[in-house]
Homo-oligomer: A and B are copies of this chain.
Amino acid sequence: MSMTIKRKGMLLIISGPSGAGKGTLCKMLLERDKSFEFSCSVTTRAARNGEVDGVDYRFIDEAEFRQMVANDELLEYATVHGHLYGTPKTEVDERLRQCRNVLLDIDSQGAMSVMRKTLDYVSIFIIAPSFEELRRRLEKRNAERPDEIRRRLRNAYAEMRKLDLYQYVVINDDVDCAYEQLSCIVNAEKQRTIRFLPTIEEE
């Protein structure tokens, strides 16, 4: 008997409230698991310190964003904290066709939208161990004004209610432990029979 193993590409959706640490965990996954490629979102918000255009996000203006929507070029888009965010279809479809794994780091509205439209995905919700810790992290980040922090905390409350719409949850208390859990989920999902179909050839 010989077996030829062919795996389907995995669409991995990672979401969670601002400050839960999903950005850091996504970066770690991309650095350590070379089977994943990042789907770069487009956004109309300004770049934060250290963010690189075309790497973290593609930063575009509202007119260009509206044009992409009109051309049906986005898999999903949503308004988050007053800014537009979207996932270009080109970032996802072609890679999945080539059996590559694609990582989507998106907000919960976007995640819901992709989950409604897509049958085969893996969804993980990253949360902070408590709201106090979430507030501390948002304040430490120091990029947002107090009213922006209050808005993000309010949104985090609302998002927590949608937790059970995701397949997995990772509580990010210690980042290395959280990465360990994330990595386990990803590796387990690679072992799913629906994802890889060994072709048995009798001799």
Residues of A within 8 A of B (CB): 1-3, 125, 130-132, 157, 160-161, 163-170, 181, 184-185, 187-189, 191-194, 196-198, 200, 202
Contacts and interface: CB of A to CB of B under 8 A. Distances in A.
Overall SS of chain A's interface: mixed
B193 A187 contact: no
Nearest to A202: B157
Contacts of A202: 157
Q: How many copies does the complex hold?
A: 2
A13 to B, nearest CB: 13
A2 to B, nearest CB: 7
A53 to B, nearest CB: 34
A181 B186 CA distance: 11
Nearest to A198: B163
* 10 A-B pairs with the lowest CB-CB distances in the bound complex, closest first: A188-B188, A1-B131, A185-B188, A184-B184, A184-B187, A168-B191, A184-B188, A164-B193, A169-B193, A166-B193
A165 to B, nearest CB: 8
Contacts of A167: 192-194
Contacts of A200: 160-161
